[in-house]
Amino acid sequence: MASAALSQSLFSTLNSHRTPENVSLSLHRSKTPAFIRQPLGPSRSRLLSAQSKKTQNNFIANCTPTGNESTTQETPIELRYPAFPAVMDINQIREILPHRFPFLLVDRVIEYTPGVSAVAIKNVTINDNFFPGHFPERPIMPGVLMVEAMAQVGGLVMLQPEVGGSRDNFFFAGIDKVRFRKPVIAGDTLVMRMTLTKLQKRFGIAKMEGKAYVGGEVVCEGEFLMAMGSE
């Protein structure tokens, strides 16, 4: 009993000397996380420094333009686009086709496989003789002339010894499934591809598929029938 009373007396004495400030300070210290109270060691400092540099480098990389964008900005626009290749120039075209001004509608051949296919271009300019009447206020290349230009490219494919065509008896015989997708205006470059799909030498008939493009978009397409004369 005496020892119990002594312990209770000592406990009461200790509690009486603890001030509210001491209690508050003790509670505050006990709630503080251990990792905050501990000073950073050398290894942890190096780790945080490396992470900070990595974050900074990623930010700089994301804000820096790519190499392609930089090259595009540095290269003047007049130097970015190469000219079409000249597989066949206008003089060579005139040796094959019988057409002449103002009805020769092919300026250059840029791809050519005799008797199989050809890709040619027509540079559409405001000086073309059809623009004053079609139309004075809105120059648009007539659709029938786009078809004629494509047929002339077909003539370049067919008027070859490999096929047996001759400019003396070669004619545009018909068209089918022709569609005009977009208007062609002054300043455009009409790119035309004509491909032989069927040849009947016995009857002198050739069937071709044609597509015309401006800026990579189809502006005209259809099926063409050519008459070359029978054997």
Residue 17 among the catalytic residues: no
Locate 156 and state its tokens.
Answer: 């370049």
Q: Which of 120, 210, 231 is nearest to 166 (CA)?
A: 231
d(CA 78, CA 70): 16
Out of 17, 28, 99, 134, the active site residue is 134
For 109-142, the DSSP string reads: EEEEETTTEEEEEEE--TTSTTTTTS-SSS-B--
Q: For residue 66, how many other CB atoms are within 10 A of its CB? A: 8
CA distance linking residue 84 with residue 75, whole number of Å: 19
| CB-based contact 85:163 (threshold 8 Å) | no
Residues serving a catalytic function are 134
